[in-house]
Amino acid sequence: MTTGAPPPTQPARPRRSRVLRFLPLGLVAWLVLEIWLLTVVAGAAGGLTVFLLLVAGLVLGSLVIKRAGRRAFKNLSEALQQQQSGATAATEGSGGGGAWTMLGGLLLILPGLVSDALGLLLLLPPLQKALSRRAERAFERKVREAAAAAPGGFGGAFQQARMRHPDGKVVQGEVVREDQPPGPTPGRGSDDPQLPR
């Protein structure tokens, strides 16, 4: 027996990007490559050599992250002091190198020879600058795309979302400005009630 109601439809699942679709496969391939490379090096140079390489990567990565964290904290405290004193902050040409340095240190800490090689590459300043420029351009492109998608800019997007899904009660009313002289408003009849002032 049917009730005339349409059958419930399942909401369409959002499409996953290619990166998210192949990320698990990439991680598994990376782990297999790391393990295979460690066994090859252990067979050629010995297990003690591989162990010492992994420990050296751990120690070096820890030192790199510690140094980059101290530098970032120092830059933050200097910027806050300059802001409190009213001086304009001098922009450094680092271009986000601290984040790349920390990522390089993290890759050095991870056990594996491929991650160590990538971590060492990320410690090179020319590569950090190139990656920073590319990341900045990608971020600016995403912001422009998001701004173009929202008709009134970001504020308009937030306003539209709020209008579609109002939170709280809607109170009907009229705004009364104090700088307007009291009296009939143009376009209103004399029998319309006014809000008390």
Instruction: Tell me how far apart the terminal alpha carbons of the chain are, to the nearest angstrom.
Output: 61
pTM of the model: 0.61
Average of per-residue pLDDT across 10-37: 84
Task: Give 91's pLDDT tier (boundaries 50, 70, 90).
Answer: low
| Segment 120-150, tens digit of pLDDT | 999 999 999 999 999 999 999 988 887 777 6
What is the reported pLDDT for 89? 52
**Is residue 180 in some structural domain?**
no
d(C-alpha 122, C-alpha 102), whole Å:
9
Q: Based on the structure, what is the number of domains in the chain?
A: 1
**Is residue 32 in some structural domain?**
yes
**Is residue 135 in some structural domain?**
no
| Segment 48-88, tens digit of pLDDT | 999 999 999 999 999 999 999 999 899 889 989 988 887 66
**Is residue 167 in some structural domain?**
no
Determine the structural domain holding residue 109 and report its residue range: 23-123
**Of how many residues is the chain composed?**
197
Residues whose CB falls within 8 Å of the CB of residue 114, separated by 6 or more in sequence, listed in order: 30, 33, 34, 37
**Is residue 191 in some structural domain?**
no
